[in-house]
Structure 1
Amino acid sequence: MSPNNTRRLQRSRLSAALLSVLITPVAGLAFAQDAAAPADQADAKNLDTVTVTGSLIPVTEVETFTPVTVVSAEDIQMRGFQSVADVLQQSTFSTGGVQGGQTSASFTQGAEASNMFGLDPGYTKYLINGRPMANYPALYNGSDVFNNISGIPVALVDRIEILPGGQSSLYGSDAIAGVVNVILKKNLDQAELSIRGGWFSEGGGDSVRFTFADSISSADGRLNTLFGIQYDERDPIWGHQRDLTDSYNNDGYSAAHPSRDFVVIDALDSSYYFTDPANCSNVTGNFGGTTQRWNRPGYGEYCGSFESPGYRTLRNGKSSTQLYSYTTFDLNDSVQLYAELMGNYEDVEYATGSNYTWWGTSSNYGAYYDPDLGALVNLQRSFAPEDIGGLGYQDIMNTDRNKSYTVTFGANGYLGDWDYNVFASRNEYKLNERGWQRWADPIEQYFSENVLGPELGLDPIYNAYPVFRPDYAAFYQPISPADFAAFTGYTTSEARTWDNLLRAQFTNGALFSLPGGDAGFAVVAEVGNEGWEYNPDQRLLDGGVWGTTSVNGDGHRSRYAVTSELRMPLLEQLTVTASARYDAFDLDGNTTDSPTYSLGVEYRPTDTLLLRGKYGTAFRAPTLADTNQGVSGYYSRNTDYYRCSLEGFDPADTEGCTWDSAQYQGSQAGNPDLEPIDADVWSAGFVWAPTQNFSLTADYFNWKIENEVDQISADQLLLTEYFCRTGASGSPITSCDNALDWIQRDANGGLVSIFTPKVNVAKQDLEVVTVGANYLLDIGRFGSLAFAANYTNNLEHTVTPTPGDEAIDLLRDPYYMWIYDAYAKTRTDVSVSWAKDAWTTTVYANRIGETPNYLAYAGGGYDYVHESGASAGKWDAYTTYNLSLNYRATDDLQLSMMVNNVLNEMPDDQASNYPGTSSTPYNNYLYDVFGRAMYLEAKYTF
């Protein structure tokens, strides 16, 4: 048996009160009926010591100097969360937007991420049963290491503990924003079998989930094993299944224009030449018969469709299987052996849509000269589902296959007055990316033979571009599925991360006596190694793929750490806890190390009030991707602010500028000389529980993060170049020397390439307030009501990109608020549960505070007014409601119905603040258009 279970201590009145209100809705009735027990009886309850995330030393207090938010399995069920990602992305701590399955063509579209307080996803430490998760092998936004939180079996979760604030003195690197510890079940009283099915009222996204779990024990009770399996499958949601995304924005502040599916573009002024002798009649069957001839004022005519945006996925399709087992064996009265295994196999499917499924001459030639037109021009055409054949875009979906496992063997027990826990673990994550591609040589050969014809020399203007007399009638033609298949196919890229860890912890809960009680002490030693490798398909590296490149990289390093924590009850009302840690990483003989420490204080002036505070340091070591990433190439488009200024456009309004969407080749690479990111973090707050039925917590957090590894965004770099070349006032992101060196242009001033390196330059300052309240009301024969609320307010958040720069206000400067994903200043959730007899009902509300609208971002401020009359400003707060109903039909059968987003809330009011050329007229990093979802579940125990 675990040695901690033999030590029974009394909880204080504050702890007993908190225990009564920090309960799950399902258990609410039982606790409510017990709430009337005399206070002295509550004080007298003997309860086990527990180890709470944020401390190594077991304590009897529910709340300590470290604020911990606990989301129980019952909370997950009653609030309608469908995954661990749902829980964390809807947490009030998650105030920033993230890329993922809802973001077309992101670097990690097959993964799901979360953040805390708008800080990068990689700033949060994720643990499963107290052990670090494996890093996702692909890089978030193409550059950063993070954790994919989609492969955790939510039906087997016991609780999720969320600990905000810097925690590196206990958990090491990455724990700057906070720590999330997902604790899975260790035993079950009965076997459980459940099935859940779901669908969306707007269509798409149908899902089903099966779960089975059971515990078995030997006859003598010494051997105990829990085994669980979860299987999930869900259909994708397509753009054409939602009104807001099935076509270009018809509600925008500018006229809606269909996609340029067949267009001849003047390479110098971006106007269009219409050269189709058939007036688009040969391609009117494309995109479901919606392609027509259109005229865009100021540009010219072309063939296109309003409905091409609908041919992309808004939410990934997915099938996954997770296995989990936890086994203990009591070797004797003082030693317990344990083993843990968790595996995940997941296929994620998605389509990026016609915006990323096209061919044009600009990629290979830059431009060509047509002597009949007497101009430098470019051809551009997208591929319609009719070109693809079969099921269209459903037949060319990308698939990310994730396979991961974690295995742990350990022993815990006690030696005299010391408890110990020693384990060895290994986790490994493999990613296989099967991506649809266009083959460079075959696609160019096809269009050369069928459209461009032979090269006729060099242009007479610059003597640099090829001359062609294209067969334009052949250009404005559908492509047969056989021809399409001949120049397209799939690449397979593989990536892997692994982590080995040997850890030993020794704890003494009564090292010596103090006036307030026994002092506790813990010491931990860790040693391990980790690796990362990313091996793209060779064709992505050697130019064999048209319009797409990739990045390779690999590295491994050893690491070790020593941690200690001392908890000292100096007085009955006053406890001080100190911890310190030393981490070192060895990469090819170069050692990067960082010491961290923290000091926490708990003061209980009365039995019902806790005052608490903490100061500490935190760090993030350079990741293997930071140091060992190869040159990463990509193609993208951004506003060329400098060339737009030559046409008389201001950066705040570049609509109609020839270079409003200039294509370029971007690159980035790792830097082996990077140093750790450092942070000072402190917090102060209180917990007040005047009765056993009510508690209120409030905490203030302050971060000062320095030496950040930052990759400058291309948009910011282009804006800086504009400031440097024109002398206009503004906030440059780096020096003019860097901007002019990192942006390359051709002889005509055209944008060629942009290099956005990683450097230790940035710093951030962040201030946050969090509030939580719980209340339990016994309403007699009508059952009980349980209320819970959480609130986060980002008071200040500034970034200083490079030394000497002015700090950027991420909460008040709407342009940078979008750039850095720090979208929501406030976030709130509230739940109300009613339990009576066999019924439990919960209403859960989640509110995202006001965020800047698109014109505030594009116009660079809240006072901007577009010529159409549309104004910069803020979008109203956005609230969704979930409703759940649980009925225990028998002792063994529970039936549940959940309706998420009951009112079918959509961000459709944002569309009027986007231009008509937008295919995603809402902020898809923070909001979604999934709409109302309904789920039915049956759980049977036996």
Structure 2
Amino acid sequence: MMKKPHLWPSLCALAVSNVLSPIVFAADNDIHLKEQEPLEHISVTGSHIKRTDLEGASPMTVLTEEDIARSGAQDMSQLLSKLPIAGAGTFATQGNNSDDTANGGAAISLRGLGANATLVLLNGRRVAVSSFAKNIDTSFVDINAIPMSAVERVDIVKDGASATYGSDAIAGVVNIILKKDFEGFEINAKAGDTVEDGGGQTSASILWGSHAEKSHTSIILNYFHENETTLGDRSYSKSANQTARGGSDSRSSSGNPGSYIPASIGTDGSISTLSGSYDWQPDANCPADNNNGTFCVYDYAPMMTSTPETTRVGLSVFHDYYINNDITLFSEMMYQHNESVVNGAGSPSFSELYILADNANYSSINNPYASSGEDLTMRRRITETGGRQKEAESDSARLVMGLNGMLGQWDWEVAYTYSYNRNYEFGKNGYVWTSLLQDEINAGNFNPFSTTQTATVIDEISVNTTRNAKSTTSAFDGTIAGEIFELPAGHVGMAVGFEYREEDLSDSPDELFLRGEIFGTEATEAYGSREQTSVFLEFAVPIFETLEAQLAGRYENYSDFGNTTSPKVALLYTPLDTLTFRASWAEGFRAPSLVQLGLGNSQESPELIDTQRCAYTGANEDCTAQERTVNFSGNPDLKAEESTSYNVGGVWEVIDNLSMGIDYWYYKVDGLIDADPQYVINTQGDNSSVVVREASSTSTPGRIIRIYDQFANLNEQTTDGIDFDVQYMFDTGEYGEFGLSYNLTWVHEFEQVRADGSTVELAGRYEHPEYRWTGGLNWAIDDWQATTRVNYISEVSYTEEQNTEGYIDAMTTLDLNVTYIGFDHWSLTLGGNNVLNEEPPFSKIDFMGYDQNTYSAIGAFWYASATYRF
């Protein structure tokens, strides 16, 4: 019979314990266990010096393998997004659509400081970032490329760690430890489905591990599939017209039938509306419920993907060869292939097309300006080609080869790492070659006043798009650590090391996109490479028997922006066996990403308000957020973001098996790299070199054609708050063992300061909830184990810029699961997430009726899983 695992390992005085259950421990993450050698020193994430105890001066959260199984999470993004420490900038595949620039990817953002300010490691080493950036410029490690079946535990360092790990560790570190020491054979299968439409999932994995006389090998195969969920699958998001719920009508001004306005057409095809004399008018055949008097609007929401259809398969191989008792050769090999399919509405045009007055179709009775005799431009959606569909494929591979061992009493390790992420994106349907479409309009073959076209014309103007990108990271690193001398309170530990790293990125969109001949798609173009060399030094100094100091520093040289040095000082004070205090101070940095430095011709269509023109017209098209074309570009002169952080806290074991932890944390980031097109309109809306407008014969500014924006070191931001947790375990005997946990993150302040000195407070506002907490109850008796978990996100108000009254309500969800382990070799689990089927709270400013970046629309999800192991 399979041995029943202990429900509650002994509680260790770590910073803040596990968010998902009250089990907390840390284990060795970079050396194998040898039966003939008892483990006396262990490696803990956040330090290069091994310790004889587990607690350190930096606050940590540790998710064990048991915690991961009990979480009910289907993949890494679901697991990490529920952490109270996860904030704005965390994203999953939810929200992937035809306008996304990183379909299929997912990332974690600690403290809301951004996915690019959170360093994600595998077994303590870096991996290549996604070659598709999120939201044009956000570089991130795609956690969807990490199979959950291969994860042994997750260590999260919750203070600045640049002194230990270098760039991107401003907010902290997520170190994912893999099952490279797995022993035996295991098969896992899992299936689940939502009570709503869409979203069903299946997954499976096979694990095998074996010791030979001088080696150990682990092999892991994984498979995951998720069905598509569309916005139309949920009653609250099936329409972009949210007025019935108290929101806005966000249906697109580009419809079919379309809307028209007289325009001046240049000999080069340039278009300027005659805005001083005319207004937009809908096609005369526009249905009454789509006619808002100015535009024939279009409800694009029902066709849009909420969560894409996704398939993931992968192979991981870990091998250790024991050369002798002191030296081990180790290798890690991983490959992951992910696919996703994203659907959207037909391609929209916003004044890219025109029809001349002498066109054969001009006199159509549906033309609202047929009697004017003026050339016209239009806002019209090409629904005749069908909805847009993208297929995204991602290949991720990683190879680590290294040696570690002992040199006297010193631990040493050297390794070479190579990893890459390659993305492909294929526009399979619904994309239109603009110049060919215009030619067909001019020839009278495509009639914009008709909602149907001939199949020949549709075939002629339709085009398949491509985009491919590759990101590579290769690195040599080495560390040696040991004790250098003894003080009255103990031995002084020291670690010294180096890293040399090369990074390359290329992101190549379709050539037609680069020439501006495809509308209805968004992509980025970026190229760059860099070399980085760093050296680091760390000391563990026992000042007194009860007081220990950690001193660390790291010097880095980048080939593309210069040098930086990051120090850290941390203290651990243990006046009593049951009471521990800790404090840390650190400086950190984030090097500008290769995308931010080398971004080429890249466009996005965010919804922006034309504040300049609104002041004159008061018109809906100017005073409400509308899709507008923004051309972004990189900036080779960017400097690194620099940060200062500190943490003060402690852990108190009040009585046996009752522990409380609290930490105050603070971060300040200077030189925040950003691009803000709404701010550009507000402050430079009359600068024709920045905001390009149509010509106007009056004092009223012409309509916006295009906005140019560039990334720059614009902002400063500060945030602080409290992490608090309580853990209590007790055994009732005949009624079983129980464990209670409560983990909370409170954000006191999240302030951003713009380049002009203006400030905005985000704590408690849109996408920045003030409180997030998770409460859990675990129970075990005989062959049964059960978990109950409550997840809470507090209400938020809208930001000042959104100029919207009211609140987005709090959201509370309940997760349950039960496991039976009474069969030989088998364990069976039945569970549900959000079992009460809570809907995401209503948001007035989101066209789908809720904030996709903060709340999940999966609804109640029930699953069953089985594990066979011997």
What is the TM-score with the length of structure 2 in the denominator? Answer: 0.88
- Who is 2:595 aligned against? 625
For 1:639-678, list aligned pairs within 5 A.
Answer: 639-647=609-617, 649=618, 656-658=620-622, 660-661=624-625, 664-678=628-642
What is the distance in 2 between the residues matched to 1:275 and 1:740? 32
Within 2, Cα distance between the matches of 1:20 and 1:89?
Answer: 20
Residue by residue over 1:181-209, the C-alpha shift from the partner in whole angstroms, topping out at 9 and shown as x without a partner, is: 00011223321101111111101111111
| Matched residue SS, 1:150 | helix
Structure 1 residue 16: deviation in Å? 6.1
Write the distance in 1 (CA, Å) between the matches of 2:722 and 2:250: 44
CA distance in 2, matches of 1:47, 1:830: 34
> What code does the residue aligned with 1:417 have?
Q
- For residues 177 and 279 of structure 2, the distance between their equivalents in structure 1, rounded to whole angstroms, comes to 59
Mapped pair 1:325 → 2:278: no
Distance change >3 Å, CA 501–CA 305, structure 1 → 2:
closer
Show the 5 A alignment for 1:791-806.
791-802=744-755, 804-806=756-758
* Cα distance change of structure 1 residues 662 and 319 upon mapping to structure 2, 3 Å threshold: closer
Tell me the residue number matched to 1:839: 784
**Paired residue secondary structure (2:518):** coil
| CA 1:885–1:569: 2 relative to 1, 3 Å | same
Unaligned runs of 5+ in 2: 1-8, 25-37, 262-272, 363-368, 697-701
Identify the residue that residue 793 of structure 2 maps to in structure 1. Answer: 848
Displacement over 6 Å in runs of 4+? 19-29, 366-369
Paired residue for 1:179? 173
Query: Does structure 1 residue 715 correspond to structure 2 residue 678?
Result: yes
Q: What CA distance in whole angstroms lies between the structure 2 residues aligned with 1:366 and 1:148? A: 45
Deviation by residue 1:2-25 (Cα, 9 ceiling, x = unmatched): xxxxxxxxxxxx986549996999
**1:370-381 maps to which residues of 2 (within 5 A)?**
370=369, 372-373=371-372, 377-381=376-380
- After superposition, where does 1:799-838 map in structure 2 within 5 Å? 799-802=752-755, 804-811=756-763, 817-818=765-766, 822-838=767-783
- Once the two structures are superposed, residues 203-252 of structure 1 have per-residue CA deviations (whole angstroms, 9 ceiling, x without a partner) of 1111111100011222x2x2110100101111110122111122232523
Matched, 1:91 2:83: yes
Whole-angstrom CA distance in 2 between matches of 1:557 and 1:766? 31
**Residues 327-377 of structure 1: CA deviation (Å, up to 9, x unaligned):** 1111111111111111111111111334xx2346x1145998956235664
SS at 1:927's partner residue?
A: coil
**Residue correspondence of structure 1 range 495-644 to structure 2 within 5 A:** 495-508=469-482, 510-548=483-521, 550-587=523-560, 592-644=562-614
CA contact (8 A) 1:910 1:921 kept: yes
Residue 904 (structure 1) shift:
0.5
Partner Cα separation in structure 1 for residue 570 and residue 247 of structure 2: 56
Rate the CA distance shift 1:628–1:721 in 2: closer, same or farther, 3 A.
Answer: closer
Matches within 5 A, 1:223-262: 223-247=215-239, 248-249=241-242, 251-253=244-246, 260-262=255-257
- Aligned mates of 1:922, 1:833 — CA distance in 2: 32
Q: Distance in 2 between matches of 1:24 and 1:640?
A: 44
Look up the match of 2:853: 925
Measured at CA, do residues 666 and 412 of structure 1 come closer, stay the same or move farther in structure 2, by a change above 3 Å? same
**Contact 2:17-2:60 within 8 A present in 1 as well:** no
Equivalent positions of 1:468-507 (< 5 A) are: 475-480=449-454, 483-507=457-481
Work out whether residues 615 and 683 of structure 1, in 8 Å CA contact, stay in contact via their aligned partners in 2. yes
Note if contact 2:282-2:294 (Cα within 8 Å) is conserved in structure 1. Answer: no
The CA deviation string for residues 838-867 of structure 1, in whole angstroms up to 9 with x for no partner, is 11111111111111158x76326xxxxxxx
Provide the C-alpha distance between the structure 2 equivalents of 1:593 and 1:73, rounded to a whole number of angstroms. Answer: 39
3-state DSSP of counterpart to 1:243: coil
Q: Measure the CA separation in 1 of the matches of 2:205 and 2:500.
A: 36
> Which residue of 81, 85, 92 maps to 2:73?
81
> Deviation of residue 928 (structure 1)?
2.7
1:18, 1:694 within 8 Å by CA — same for their partners in 2? no
Residue 703 of structure 2 aligns with which residue? 750
Secondary structure at 2:85 match in 1: coil
Instruction: Look up the match of 2:122.
Output: 128
The percentage of counterpart residues that share the same residue type is: 25
For 1:642, what is the secondary structure of its paired residue?
A: helix
Deviations 1:649-688 (A, max 9, x none): 4xxxx7x355635554321222222221111111110011
Hey, what does 2:201 align to over in structure 1? 207
Contact map agreement 1:433 1:494 (CA 8 A) in 2: yes
State the one-letter code of the partner of 2:244. Answer: D
Give the Cα–Cα distance (whole angstroms) in 2 for the partners of residues 780 and 82 of structure 1. 33
> Are 2:816 and 1:896 equivalent residues in the alignment?
no
Change (3 A) 1:783 1:941: same
Aligned in 2, Cα 1:334/1:345: closer, same or farther, shift over 3 Å? same
- Paired AA for residue 113 in structure 1: A
With 140-149 and 229-238 compared, the bigger mean Cα shift is at 140-149
Deviation for aligned residue 1:128: 0.6
Q: Distance in 1 between matches of 2:11 and 2:339?
A: 46
CA 1:137 to 1:335, structure 2 compared with 1: closer, same or farther past 3 Å?
Answer: same
Deviations 1:21-59 (A, max 9, x none): 969999989xxxxxxxxxxxxxxxx97432111111111
Q: Does 1:358 align with 2:310?
A: no
Matches of 1:548 and 1:24, distance apart in 2: 39
Deviation at 1:881, TM superposition (A): 1.2
| Partner Cα distance (1:244, 1:706) in 2 | 40
Q: Distance in 1 between matches of 2:19 and 2:292?
A: 60
**Aligned in 2, Cα 1:19/1:541: closer, same or farther, shift over 3 Å?**
closer
| Residues 1:759 and 1:275: Cα distance change in structure 2 (over 3 Å) | closer
1:412-465 alpha-carbon deviations (Å, 9 max, x no partner): 11011111111111111111111242112222233333467xxxxxxxxxxxxx
Residue 513 of structure 2 aligns to a residue in which SS?
helix
- Label 1:270 to 1:55 Cα distance change in 2 as closer, same or farther (>3 A): farther
Q: How many residues align?
A: 814
On the 8 A contact 2:184/2:210 being kept in 1, the answer is no
Structure 1: state its 5+ residue gaps: 1-13, 30-45, 281-291, 453-470, 726-738, 861-871
Report if aligned partners of 2:204, 2:222 keep a CA contact under 8 Å in 1. Answer: yes
The CA distance in 1 between the partners of 2:230 and 2:683, in whole Å, is 37
Q: Tell me the distance in 2 between the aligned counterparts of 1:927 and 1:448.
A: 47
Taking the TM superposition and a 5 Å limit, the aligned residue runs for 1:269-418 are 273=281, 275-276=283-284, 279=285, 292-294=287-289, 296=291, 298-299=293-294, 302=296, 308-354=300-346, 357-359=347-349, 362-365=351-354, 370=369, 372-373=371-372, 377-384=376-383, 387-388=384-385, 393=387, 396-418=388-410
Report SS of the residue matched to 1:787: strand
- Asked whether the 8 Å contact 1:621–1:675 carries over to 2, the reply is yes
**Structure 1 residue 515: Cα displacement:** 2.2
Report if the CA contact (8 A) 1:565-1:580 is conserved: yes
Q: Is the 8 A contact 2:116 2:139 kept in 1?
A: yes
Distance 2:763 2:258 in 1: 41
Match of 1:154 among 148, 151, 161: 148
Q: State the AA in 1 paired with 2:690.
A: W
* Per-residue deviation, 1:926: 1.1
Distance 2:567 2:745 in 1: 26
- In 2, Cα distance between equivalents of 1:408 and 1:796: 41
**Partners of 2:727 and 2:819 in 1: how far apart?**
21
The residue matched to 1:155 in structure 2 has which SS? helix
Give the Å deviation of 1:131. Answer: 0.7
Q: Aligned with 2:352: secondary structure? A: helix
Contact 2:248–2:847 (CA under 8 A) maintained in structure 1: no
